[in-house]
Copies of this chain bind each other. A is one copy, B any other.
Amino acid sequence: MIEDRHKSALLEMLGDKGVIADGSDMAGYQTGARYDAGTAALILRPRTTAEVSQAVAYCVRNELPIVPQSGNTGLVSGSTPDLSGTQVVLSLDRMAERFDLDLDNRSLHLDAGFRLSDVNSRLEKHGLFFPIDLGADPRIGGMLATNTGGSRFLKYGDVRRNTLGIKVVLADEAGSILDLTSELRKNNTGIDWKQVFIGTSGAFGIITECVLNIEPLPKQVATAYLVPASGAHVMPLLRAMEDRLGAYLSAFEGISKNSVSAALDHVPSLKNPFQGGNVPDYVILAEISRTWAPREGEQSLDAVLETVLAEIWETDEAPLADAFVGPAHEMWSLRHALSEGVKHSGKLIAFDLSFRRGDIMAFCDRMKADMPQAFPEVTICDFGHIGDGGVHFNLVVPKDSASASDPDFERRLRDWVFAIAIKDFNGSFSAEHAIGRKNQAYYDLYTQQKIKDLAQGLKAITSPGDLGTVRFG
């Protein structure tokens, strides 16, 4: 699907290791983490920003569409080629050389192709980490292009908040390099251009280097399962925790009974952590943490958490029906098993929604009330980041049901859920997974025309070439 002269020219430019043209070697670059499999014209694996620039310039001048790919762990078809066989995948997987740690500045200047796990294992010996906590193990460039959030957003924020600078290659005929690798924390000398490239799936440029804020590792962690007295008590509980704990509070994750059951049914290593095996209708996993090391004669962090929970227990609002503090590792193991459990309990149709925090439970109630009429075969297995308004709203239909094999079913279900989430609750159709081909139709449907016009204008001045999987204009 790609002319031999292009293949030769790119081979010449990037060398043997820099180009994959063989079908079987291309497979891993063509298939997404959970969804879709496409067909690429060619895989490019440049090693430096200069090589990315040359390759991009060549592709733009020859009208070859480019799909940037980082760790390829995303869930929205944002980094894989479509079925046309005409798209060139540009992978960052060989760009992992520069790793400059500045301990005084608490910042890290690195190539965009490092895996998150590699970054954190290198930082650990300095007592530091990049505080974006994810289930997957993406490469850093893709984390920026997706603006990932995760379970500790409440305390540390998203990737955007933790990015000081980037280097970007634009898809113009020169493959222009935009050097925005400032290492400054405070700098107000113009438009903060890096923001345009963060969270936009590589449509406006390919991020090849980054400067990240890094944080001291917590030295104490305590966790508890909290059973709210009712759905209406979840927000009073969160507010009572934030009021008392402030920056101590590092996670406040909501877990529904159905998602716990799915995990218990399908993840054999998981033990039922609830007394008598009775799974509550809804449970909060709360975590507090601090960089303060344990010191002799001091209260443990578990004791601090116990104190707070006892106080909240006594308040007039009485938001708690039950609460127990336990080992962090065990308590998180349930949380981490949810995705896996839900995936194996039927055909999964997953939503990554967000709301004002106070609207989450109301939205879930509305869904529980309306779903049986609208889509009777659907089981709701929601869990999510209540502390920042994010909900992994998972819907499951039995694999052997008529709906599971109805090609139009998923689309109708998505349309219905999004309409309620967005129109009735002012929610978002993508809290932390970005857009990709998977959400393109909803971007088109729910984005103001003026915003699309602006995006088209921005595209023209940054990367006029055919870049990425999303059309913002």
Chain B residue at minimal CB-CB distance from A291: B246
**B contact residues around A178 at 8 Å (CB):** 450-451
**Of B104, B149, B188, B430, the contact of A358 (CB 8 Å cutoff):** B104
The contact string, 1 if C-beta is below 8 Å from chain B, for chain A 224-266, is 0000000000010011001111111000000000000000000
**What distance in Å separates the Cβ of A424 from its nearest Cβ neighbour in chain B?**
15
Inter-subunit contact B472/A191 (CB<8 Å): yes
Chain B residue at minimal CB-CB distance from A215: B246
**At the interface, yes or no: A285 with Cβ under 8 Å from chain B?**
no
**B contact residues around A193 at 8 Å (CB):** 451, 454
Inter-subunit contact B244/A160 (CB<8 Å): no
Inter-subunit contact B187/A191 (CB<8 Å): no
**What distance in Å separates the Cβ of A66 from its nearest Cβ neighbour in chain B?**
19
**B contact residues around A389 at 8 Å (CB):** 105, 184-186
Inter-subunit contact A191/B184 (CB<8 Å): no
Among A184, A244, A430, A433, residue most surrounded by chain B Cβ atoms (within 10 Å):
A184
- Copies of this chain per assembly: 2
For the complex, what is the distance from the CA of A185 to the CA of B107, rounded to whole Å? 24
For the complex, what is the distance from the CA of A472 to the CA of B105, rounded to whole Å? 29
The contact string, 1 if C-beta is below 8 Å from chain B, for chain A 183-216, is 1111111111101101110001000000000011
Find residues 122-175 in chain A having any chain B CB closer than 8 Å to their own CB: 127, 146-147, 149, 153, 155, 157-158, 160-161
**At the interface, yes or no: A412 with Cβ under 8 Å from chain B?**
no
For the complex, what is the distance from the CA of A434 to the CA of B192, rounded to whole Å? 12
Chain B residue at minimal CB-CB distance from A236: B104
Would A200 and B191 be within 8 Å (CB), given that A427-B184, A458-B458 are in contact?
yes
**At the interface, yes or no: A278 with Cβ under 8 Å from chain B?**
no
**B contact residues around A354 at 8 Å (CB):** 184-187
For the complex, what is the distance from the CA of A403 to the CA of B267, rounded to whole Å? 77
**At the interface, yes or no: A383 with Cβ under 8 Å from chain B?**
no
Inter-subunit contact A106/B443 (CB<8 Å): no
Q: Enumerate 7 A-B pairs (CB-CB under 8 Å) in ascending A order.
A: A184-B389, A187-B430, A188-B432, A189-B428, A189-B434, A191-B199, A191-B458
- With A186-B388, A457-B460 given, can you name 6 additional A-B contacts, CB distance below 8 Å? A104-B235, A105-B356, A146-B188, A188-B432, A188-B435, A246-B247
List the 3 closest A-B pairs by CB distance, nearest first: A246-B291, A104-B358, A457-B461
